[in-house]
Amino acid sequence: MKDKRTPEDIRSQEELKADCHIPQHIAIIMDGNGRWAKDKGQPRVRGHHAGVESVRDAVEACAELGVGFLTLYAFSTENWGRPKEEVGALMSLLIHSLRRELKTLNQNNIRLMTIGNREDLPEKVRGELEQTIELTRQNTRMTLVLALSYSGRWDMTQAVRAISEEVLSGKLTVGDISADTISDHLATKGIPDPDLMIRTSGEMRISNFLLWQLAYSELYITDCFWPDFRRPHLYDAIRSYSRRERRFGKVSEQLKPV
């Protein structure tokens, strides 16, 4: 497999590993494909196609750094409302990318998972996803979570339904419901909350991503459009994350080791 790292990438990677706290879970809102294409006088779908290379780069870079989970927001519940042609192009791109990347995922020891309403996805996409998930199930180096037909409100709604069913059947009492119960019924069950959430293209919003899970994530927003996002951008985000003090509601003095 071809190593796409430049000597500068390798230097940054070593420096990050030595000096920075590497997030266990990074979540990314991959935004700006359409504007990237528009700036070049090209149709929006060209931006989506170009964004695949950024996905590859981010996945490999995270695995190299020892990130445990990488969640990519690839298609939101609201994105179904886009023009039919764009939705169709995104679905075919997904099928082709999954097929093309299976070998690389296995070579890199990366497991694929998805979160979102799989029932909404076309049969062909579902089949390809299920196959890729099955064929990467044993991989242990990193988990790649694709958020597809996902939204935070969808996730919370399905969790409330599942919890309600358990209360109705007597498996749970209302008093048993805690924050952990809710986390355990979300699509992200078993996945730690993101430490760092990156959004490309400069928009200062969450766009219905992991609403519950982002409660204490550090946010990093860059103006870079997703198709231009490469290893150095990721390294900048991790450097910024590493300089921050995560207080989780406490005061600084409480965090310092005595």
Q: Which of 9, 33, 57, 79 is catalytic?
A: 79
CB under 5 to 8 A by kind: which of Mg ion, ligand IPE, none does 76 bind?
Answer: ligand IPE
Burial class (CB in 10 A: 0-12, 13-18, 19+), 207: middle
In the annotation, is 117 catalytic? no
Position among 12, 29, 31, 154 found at the interface with Mg ion (CB under 5 A): 31
CA distances from 63 to 67, 123, 139, 231, 241 (A): 6, 30, 12, 12, 18
Per CB under 5 A, does 193 bind Mg ion? Answer: no
In the annotation, is 9 catalytic? no
Number of CB atoms found within 10 A of residue 129's CB: 20
CB of 139 to ligand IPE, least distance (A): 24
What is the rounded distance in angstroms from the CA atom of residue 243 to the CA atom of residue 147? 28
CB of 97 to ligand IPE, least distance (A): 13
| Amino acid in position 240 | S
∠ Cα 195 201 206 (to 5°): 45
Q: Which of 31, 57, 155, 195 is catalytic?
A: 31
CB under 5 to 8 A by kind: which of ligand IPE, Mg ion, none does 75 bind?
Answer: ligand IPE
Per CB under 6 A, does 203 bind ligand IPE? Answer: yes
Compare residues 12 and 77 and give the one whose CB is closer to ligand IPE. Answer: 77
Q: Give 35's contacts (C-beta < 8 A, 6+ positions apart).
A: 47, 201, 225
Compare residues 130 and 203 and give the one whose CB is closer to ligand IPE. Answer: 203
**Piece of the chain touching ligand IPE by CB under 6 A; list 72-80, 94-102, 108-116, 179-187:** 72-80
**Piece of the chain touching ligand IPE by CB under 6 A; list 9-17, 184-192, 199-207, 212-220:** 199-207
Listing DSSP states for 216-257 in one string gives TPEEEE-SS-GGG--HHHHHHHHHHHHHS---TTS-HHHHS-
Residues 3-42, mask of contacts with ligand IPE (x by CB under 6 A): --------------------------xxxxxxx-------
CB of 92 to Mg ion, least distance (A): 19
Compare residues 74 and 125 and give the one whose CB is closer to ligand IPE. Answer: 74
**Order of strands, edge to edge, in the sheet holding 218-221?**
110-115, 142-150, 69-76, 25-29, 196-199, 218-221
What residues does 52 pair with on adjacent strands?
Answer: none
Position among 42, 117, 158, 207 found at the interface with ligand IPE (CB under 6 A): 207
What is the rounded distance in angstroms from the CA atom of residue 155 to the CA atom of residue 130? 20
Helix (H, G, I), strand (E, B) or coil at 192: coil
CA 206, chain centre distance (Å): 13
Residues that bind ligand IPE (CB under 6 A): 29-35, 73-76, 79, 90, 201, 203, 205, 207
- Catalytic residue ranges: 31, 79
Residues that bind Mg ion (CB under 5 A): 31
